[in-house]
Amino acid sequence: MSHGSHGSGKSYAPEFVAALKEAGFDFFAGVPCSLLKGLVSLLDADPSARYISATREDSAIGMAFGAWLGGRLPMVLMQNSGLGVSVNALASLSTMYEVPALLVISWRGEGGNDAPEHIMMGEIMLPILDLMKIQHRVLRAAEPMGPQVQWAKDVMLSTRQPAALIVPAGVLE
Amino acid sequence: MNKLEALKVFTAAVGKDDLVVCCNGMIGRELYTTQDRPSNFYMIGSMGLGLSIGLGLALAQPRKRIFVLDGDGNVLMGMNALASVGSERPANLVHVVLDNRSHASTGGQRTISGDVKLESVASAVGYRATHRADSVESFEASLRVALVQPGPVMVLALVDGGTVKGIGRVAETPQELASRFAAEARR
């Protein structure tokens, strides 16, 4: 591990995937991050999830957009570097058309402790989401996952806007 | 052929239950002027993402035929999405590219599609069939064949550059465009 793994070393990914399915999420796409390793491998190994390994994060947002129009409840996962790639897609696609998606975004560079390429994005990620008026919550280990996923789904359905769950180290690895 | 001639051929090939995702720029306004229908989705920003949207839709609605109406500038900007289409291989996706070798919406500046055979890229990444047409007749014939082939199929039509007079703007709000399209897509 190039970055410190916090907590007990337990992955909450199985609980998180169960919560996603319980809430009815049925379209999954994204670009991986080491902090999301557990989540990606569970989705990828699950034939019913049909996880799409996208090439770019904005493309995954486009796919999720089309899936929502077609009646699905979509989730997109990415490293926070991908949020930079996705700003225009979120600004002129998801938020403008009022087509929601659940964004699961890892928090590289949290607290300024990470490889240099992650420090700036780690610092500006939440302000970027705030500027785009995208509601977000941070997933913490040892908190139940179900209510967090349900909160995101409620935001999506009631505001017709994307909602973000932010994933620090040691939660979904 | 000019773009309006191409769009007449395209709209004639689209069936009543088919869904169309149209890329941003002049093409959307030209399609809207030629034949607007609730089953057309007009992407008005986010250049390059039309094909990604069409792919997500094709996977969500496998029993419907999905057309993505694209331009060369959009395809080049979102070329990575061709690889995703080639990997997922949705049989119900028809990717139509009107190639005028220019960015019509911003004043006709050149793109590099004259140097890059986009249908060869599509073929290389796993599209099941590709076609290139340079006249009204060959575009009609290519679409006819494409509609009986399993997708993903690309039909690239070479069209003249320049803009056509009398092209309106999309009147509906973005929210209206998305909700009326979703109602059709989920039928």
d(CA A73, CA A59) in angstroms, rounded, equals: 17
**Pairwise CB contact (< 8 Å): A69 & B55:** no
Interchain pair A63, B52: CB under 8 A: yes
Residue in chain A closest to B59 (alpha carbons) equals A67
- Coil vs helix vs strand at B69: strand
Q: State percent of chain B over pLDDT 70.
A: 100
Contact B59 A69 (CB under 8 A): no
A147: which residues sit within 8 A by CB, 6+ positions away?
Answer: none
Cα-Cα-Cα-Cα torsion B174, B177, B179, B182, nearest 10 degrees, comes to -130
Nearest CB to B45 within list A27, A55, A92: A92
pLDDT of res. A5: 44
pLDDT at A4 over 50: no
pLDDT at res. A1: 39
CA atoms A24, A30, A32, A35: torsion sign: negative
pLDDT value of position A8? 59
Distance CA A162, CA A103 (A): 7
Which of B81, B174, B185 lies closest to A69 in CB terms? Answer: B185
At B58-114, the pLDDT tens digits run 999 999 999 999 999 999 999 999 999 999 999 999 999 999 999 999 999 999 999
Q: How sure is the predictor about A10, in pLDDT bands with cuts at 50, 70 and 90? A: confident
B78 touches A at CB < 8 Å: yes
CA distance B42 to A22: 33
Instruction: Assess contact for B74 and B47: CB atoms under 8 A.
Output: yes
Please answer yes or no on whether A50 and B59 come within 8 Å at the CB atom. yes
Distance CA B163, CA B26 (A): 8
Q: Touching check for B177 and chain A: CB below 8 Å? A: yes
- Distance, CA of B59 to CA of B156 (rounded, Å): 22
pTM: 0.97
Cβ contacts (< 8 Å) between B87 and chain A: which residues?
53
In B14-155, which ranges are continuous DSSP H helix?
Answer: 26-34, 50-60, 72-77, 79-88, 118-125, 136-146
User: φ and ψ at A147, to 5 degrees?
Assistant: -65, -35
Task: Say what the pLDDT of residue B163 is.
Answer: 81
Each residue of A89-125: pLDDT tens digit?
999 999 999 999 999 999 999 999 999 999 999 999 9
- Identify residue A45 by its one-letter amino acid code: A
Maximum alpha-carbon separation in chain A: 42
Report yes or no: A64 at the B interface, CB cutoff 8 Å. yes
B143 is written with which tokens? 């679409």
**Cβ-Cβ contacts under 8 Å for B181 (sequence gap 6 or more):** A69, B19, B38, B39, B40, B41
Other beta carbons within 10 angstroms of residue B175's beta carbon come to 13
pLDDT of residue A142: 82
- The per-residue pLDDT for range B123-135, each reduced to its tens digit, is 999 999 999 999 9
